[in-house]
Amino acid sequence: MGYIFDFNNAVAYEKWFDNPHNRFVAELENRLMLDLLKPAQGESVLEIGCGTGAGLLTFIDAGVQVTGIDPSPYMLDIALKNVGNRADLHRGIAEDLPFEDNSFNHACFITTLEFVEDPKKAIEEACRVAKDRIFLGVLNRYALKGIQRRVKGIFTSTIYNRAHFFSVWELKQIIRLFLGDVPISWRTVCHFPAATGWMTRRLEKFAMLQRCPCGAFIGMVVTLVPRFRTRPLAVPIKAKHTTGAAAG
């Protein structure tokens, strides 16, 4: 089942957005998500691990029909307060989604895979319920900020002690394992962990910088290609009986 955020975690996560730098970080991550996923107005998106609803609000503002699922009732309580009846909220785990195949156009994870018990199963479930694309937004194990978080966890207890950080190559390997050679695009943001000035905002939008694999946040979109399994079918053929001898 992975780690489920408790009441204190949920409150701390909501307060995280009070910091201007953190709001800037969330803005970068959400913009990257929209740029890569490219959901059209009226399409449906499932956010797996929707938390307090920050990602849901981004999709709502883009005119997308949103559904959120999270295992934490405390996170969902805050999400309900933030999004109201503009989103369909469910309680459940990423590895066992309570939805039919191809129920949504897209599915996304935003810093969710880090805390699930089986990331491979979670991605497989997302591919099952989505029919067009999935978005994976994860914390980068090779970013300076990711290294700082892990080192801090050695000396003090933080939420990141329970997180598994990823890399671009690890995500690609997981996807190729069960989807094969499907189209994959990725970028990273949050390369400057301490600055929020106008120069930083401009640099973070440069495509060349976002192609660097060391940004603190990795955004990866996978285009789902339908695969068909065929099996031979026996075709019954009734032999035609002939009478008399053939001339020759």
Digit-coded pLDDT (tens) for 22-55:
888 899 899 999 999 999 999 999 999 999 999 9
Angle between helices 168-179 and 119-129 (to 10 degrees): 60
Task: Order the strands of the 65-70 sheet from edge to edge.
Answer: 88-91, 65-70, 44-48, 104-110, 130-139, 217-223, 184-189
Burial class (CB in 10 A: 0-12, 13-18, 19+), 5: buried
pLDDT band at 230 (very low <50, low <70, confident <90, very high): low
Tens digit of each residue's pLDDT (9 = 90 or more) over 68-124: 999 999 999 999 999 999 999 999 999 999 999 999 999 999 999 999 999 999 999
Query: In which element (H, E) is residue 100 found?
Result: none
Range from 39-43, 197-201, 236-240 that averages highest in pLDDT? 39-43
**CA of 183: how far to CAs of 17, 35, 73, 179, in Å?**
34, 16, 35, 10
Identify whether the C-beta of residue 140 lies closer than 8 Å to the C-beta of residue 167: yes
- Predicted pLDDT at 148: 78
Identify whether the C-beta of residue 224 lies closer than 8 Å to the C-beta of residue 133: yes
Q: Cα Rg for the chain, rounded, in angstroms?
A: 23
> 139-158: b or e for each residue (b if 16 or more CB lie within 10 Å)?
bbbbbbbbeebbeeeeeeee
- Which has more pLDDT, 19 or 134? 134
C-alpha 80/C-alpha 197 separation (Å) is: 33
Q: What is the pTM of this model?
A: 0.86
- Predicted pLDDT at 247: 55
Residue 122 is encoded by which pair of tokens?
């979670």
Q: Decide which of 3.40.50.150, 3.20.20.80, 3.40.50.300, 2.40.50.140 is the CATH code for 7-223.
A: 3.40.50.150
Report whether pLDDT(178) > 90: no
Tens digit of each residue's pLDDT (9 = 90 or more) over 96-109: 999 999 999 999 99
Geometric angle at alpha carbon 10, from 6 and 46, rounded to 5°: 100
What are the residues whose beta carbons fall under 8 Å from the beta carbon of 49, sequence distance 6 or more? 69, 70, 71, 94, 109, 110, 111, 112, 115, 116
C-alpha 76/C-alpha 89 separation (Å) is: 7
pLDDT band at 18 (very low <50, low <70, confident <90, very high): confident
